[in-house]
Amino acid sequence: MNNDLADGFFGNYGGRFVPDELIPVLDDLKEAYNEFKHNDDFEAKLKQYHSDYIGRPSPLYFAEKMSSKYGSKIYLKREDLNHTGAHKINNCIGQGLLARSMGKKRVIAETGAGQHGVATATACALLDLDCSIYMGEIDTKRQELNVFRMELLGADVISVKTGNKTLKDAVDEALKDLIAHHNNTFYMLGSAVGPDPYPTMVRDFQSVIGQETRDQILDKENQLPDYLLACVGGGSNAIGLFYPFVRDREVNMIGIEPGGKGEKKGENAAPLNFGTPGVIHGFKSYLLQDKEGEIGTTHSIAAGLDYPGVGPEHSYLKDSGRAKYVTVSDDKALDAFNKLSRLEGIAPALESAHAVSYALDLSEQLTEDDIIVINLSGRGDKDVQQVAQIMKDKNA
């Protein structure tokens, strides 16, 4: 299945829908990426940072108690154990090295849950790059700890007070900054979204997740998994897990979107389930929009999933039938957050808890020989204060 087309489309999705002044910027980025991804020195430096700085390979952990309780073999790909606590650092180190190789001195980024912001600030501190990060005002309040971490690392965190004051609006402001300052600025996009070449570039930097998983599960079980599960907002952790298995048709790939409070407009952030194809932030994908094409409001308990669009490659995988996309509600994600914490001593990010929740329901329908791999894309430290407040409010 070859969906890496030269024009930056995955089937009908992707491409570039941007102002003319951004075309040469994207052309330069694509040329530099295509050159450096095949450069031995670049690859060697990236691998060194993987092992010595990020702490890769991340473990593939057999969740024995959870497996015994729910029925099938459940493995957790422990991206939460990476430096900075999530998968985001894989992409940021790669893009940071690329920025430096292109002679860029300043990096900008957007963030929702703050994990990409922390990873960006970390990479910039490591690689001596100036750093500005856009974050919706609502998200800065939900994720105060991560805001402090970004500032501690030397980043300028810019609170976005326009629109819904969440991730979409942070992306809007970051793109405006890029247009105004593209001569010296590198936009470190955090998910497998945006105009070409970002979806391909981010996927490639995150595919280390799936490549490691493949080797690890073959070593442990001498077979490929029956199911791969990952939460999907923009979709970088999911496409990083899925991509190395796309040609293995016996492996079922399931992405879990945030079902939020319900199926009505504004109650969720699940474009693959409730959206229609359209254009957002310079690319075509499924997105939550009205009949006139106006982008809809979104909701999720997990700030990192609170986005009205989704990566174009996920849109392609949905239409082709190669991957399946489902939803999990706020309440079920919160329940899974607590269950994994108590059963295995692992507190997942609220984003990852959506995938954990679906896995538990799925496992009860399978046999003890079926194998599920969940991408535990981040740890729950950042969410403990938020969860504590939600539980306090519920018990009031």
Q: Is the peptide bond before 197 cis (omega within 30 degrees of 0)?
A: yes
Q: How far is CA 370 from CA 63, 70, 72, 269, in A?
A: 14, 12, 5, 30
Active-site residues: which are they? 88, 110, 377
Map residue 31 onto helix, strand or coil. Answer: helix
* DSSP secondary structure letter of residue 345: S
Neighbours of 267 (CB within 10 A): 18
Map residue 187 onto helix, strand or coil. Answer: strand
* Nearest in space to 93 (alpha carbons), one of 142, 63, 56: 56
* CB environment 151-171: b (16+ within 10 A), e (fewer): eebebebbbbeeebbbbbbbb
Contacts of 261 (CB under 8 A, 6+ apart): 267, 268, 299, 329, 330
Q: How far is CA 359 from CA 13, 72, 119, 320, 376, in A?
A: 28, 10, 27, 23, 12
Strand ranges in the chain using DSSP code E only, listed in sequence order: 9-10, 13-14, 60-62, 73-78, 106-111, 130-136, 156-160, 185-187, 227-231, 252-260, 276-280, 283-287, 323-329, 371-376
Contact between 306 and 167 (Cβ < 8 Å): yes
